[in-house]
Structure 1
Amino acid sequence: MSVNSYLLRQAGVITRAQAQSAGLSRDAVDRRLATRRWRPLHPRVYLAAGHRLTDEARVRAAVLWAGERAVLSGVAAAWWHGMAERAPLVVGVTVSRRRCPGPRPGVAVRRRELDPADRDERRGVVLTARPLTVLEAAVELGGTGGEFLDRALQRWVRFPAVYAAYCRNLGAHGSATAGKLLVAAADRSASVAERLLARQLRAAGITGWRAGHEAGGFVIDIAFPAARVAIEVDGWAWHMDTERAGRDRRRQNALVRQGWTVLRYTWHDLTGRPRTVLAEILHEVATACAASV
């Protein structure tokens, strides 16, 4: 492959080894660096003049620097798969335990062996397969990881495949958090989220509510009867089918017609922003009580 072919294929990025395999001598590479036709991104990895340092170039450069068997991982792999809107500032790569690359700004290196089932290749980059990518990205994203996993289960991967990837990687960094996310995702009802909200209300000392309150022929998940404020709690969206979603909308509309204020929250709201949820509930209850005086 020629130098220009490498540059076109790799968003302007090339390694010293690739340049020499294309016929450039060591001195020729050094001259390009001295004249700033190429600039270093990492040791022995360069960006050619005329090419912007795009996210694609950053990601490719990190993987090329990490070595021939490096595997793009985490949120960076999710972005490469088209499952994340933007590339992370720090690019995650996985290398063999036998390798010990030094630290590099903008690159997070993890040393472990990957099962062949957890490897994929797209556009010339070796990366984690979608099921493991979804799981590791969810862990890396922290507070928004559950929402990402939920969206991925709706659109890109199936739960059994993600669970199989989890089992193959038990004991790896982040697997405990991954396990908790999978337990939450596996529950096919909103009951876990409802119990979580009930615990949060009790812990905050909020009173005047009832769980499973009957009103107008419907059962409200959590209700403040005196204020006529209804709290509806949803589980993970990937479990929601069209029929159930339609029933929930009809129930909500009926409650509104009966004079109830309806607030709707998800498991992700309760785990990602619990203080905001409680503040919103208290505000609506206080507003409703004041209006009825």
Structure 2
Amino acid sequence: MLQDLLRDHDGVITLAHARLAGLSQDAVNRRVRSGHWRRCSRGVYFADDRPFTDAARVRAAVWAYGDAATATGLAAAWWLELTKYAPAVVEVTVPKVSNHPKRAGIRSRRRDLVPTDIVERRGLRVTKPALTIVEAAARRGGGMKIIDTAMQLHLVELRQLWRAHLQNKGRHGSPAARRLLQAADGGAHSEAERLLIRALRDAGITGWKANQRLGRWEVDVLFAAARVVVEVDGLPFHTAADDFHRDRVKQNEIALLDWQVLRFTWLDLTEYPERVIAEIRRAVERVHV
């Protein structure tokens, strides 16, 4: 039973688990003194015969704050496989009445989560996907990319994200999350246009005009001398099927008029603006080569 617990829990074990496996406090202490187990925090240990993985680090951080602690933010997003890399700092939410010391590599937040916002995955308490996505997106290093990925994978719907946000108003990052959801919920395209124009001006790129007619279409940005058109899209999950078809017809017709068309999304402009500017600059400067 002890080896099963260690295997299933990434080598991390609590004193309560050890006792369930038949170990006394003295037996646990002997393992710590011999170097077989490492003490991570009070009542939480790691069996040192294996690598201390990111999963072990996150699990040990959450369990350090007791049975009522829950992984939240980017830590929860990583645990639910919504992000590729584990965060350097593990966010843990504890009840308001908790009184725990600060620990290196852990950021604790005190608030009372309702049971319906919590799920257990691989033996660890984490916030449910909708709340996790909303909160992780508002964290530094999160952003719209998390929302975009979740929606494209059909893990949640936009209405579920709004519900999770509204049911947890007042939490850390709530205003930022609201702005992201508002952009996703109908305003992404216009906001993307503003971001593109601001990026062009900040980069000192000239020779363009916004909202110009080309054939039977109006294009977002047009570089007449270079015969380059730049189009921006809202978030992929927010684009209806008929809009998607219309955009492709438009792009093909413009290309047949011998114009180069560059397409960028709201996500491109918010997450990778340097790449967007580099591609535009390369396209418009070809005319001078």
Query: TM over 0.5, yes or no?
Result: yes
Between 1:61-70 and 1:248-257, the stretch displaced more is 248-257
1:147-186 map, 5 Å? 147-155=145-153, 156-186=155-185
Whole-angstrom distance in 1 between the partners of 2:137 and 2:222: 32
Q: 1:87 to 1:279 in 2, by over 3 A?
A: closer
Whole-angstrom distance in 1 between the partners of 2:198 and 2:48: 59
1:85-104 map, 5 Å? 85-104=84-103
Provide the residue aligned with 1:254 in structure 2.
253
SS at match of 2:50: coil
Give the letter for the 2:74 counterpart.
Answer: V
Q: What is the Cα deviation at residue 188 of structure 1?
A: 5.8
Q: What is the Cα deviation at residue 254 of structure 1?
A: 2.9
Q: What is the Cα deviation at residue 64 of structure 1?
A: 1.4
The CA RMSD measured in Å over matched residues stands at 2.3
SS at match of 2:64: helix
Q: Is 1:54 the equivalent of 2:50?
A: no
Q: What is the Cα deviation at residue 126 of structure 1?
A: 1.2
Provide the residue aligned with 1:12 in structure 2.
11
Q: 1:222 to 1:41 in 2, by over 3 A?
A: same
* CA distances 1:155-186 after superposition (whole Å, capped 9, x unpaired): 21111111111112211111111111111111
Unaligned regions of 5+ residues in structure 1, if any? Answer: none
Q: Is 1:237 the equivalent of 2:236?
A: yes
Q: 1:57 to 1:202 in 2, by over 3 A?
A: closer
Normalising to structure 1: TM-score of the pair? 0.88
SS at match of 1:265: strand
Unaligned regions of 5+ residues in structure 2, if any? Answer: none
Q: Is the 8 A contact 2:188 2:266 kept in 1?
A: no
* CA distances 1:114-159 after superposition (whole Å, capped 9, x unpaired): 12231111222111011110011111244x5112211212221111
Between 1:48-57 and 1:177-186, the stretch displaced more is 48-57
Q: Is the 8 A contact 1:75 1:141 kept in 2?
A: no
Whole-angstrom distance in 2 between the partners of 1:282 and 1:123: 48
Structure 2 residue corresponding to 1:146, chosen from 141, 144, 147: 144
Q: Is the 8 A contact 2:145 2:271 kept in 1?
A: no
Percent identity of equivalent pairs: 44
Q: What is the Cα deviation at residue 271 of structure 1?
A: 2.7
* CA distances 1:21-76 after superposition (whole Å, capped 9, x unpaired): 43322221111111112112233211114332122222221121110011111122
Q: 1:256 to 1:179 in 2, by over 3 A?
A: same
Whole-angstrom distance in 1 between the partners of 2:172 and 2:30: 43
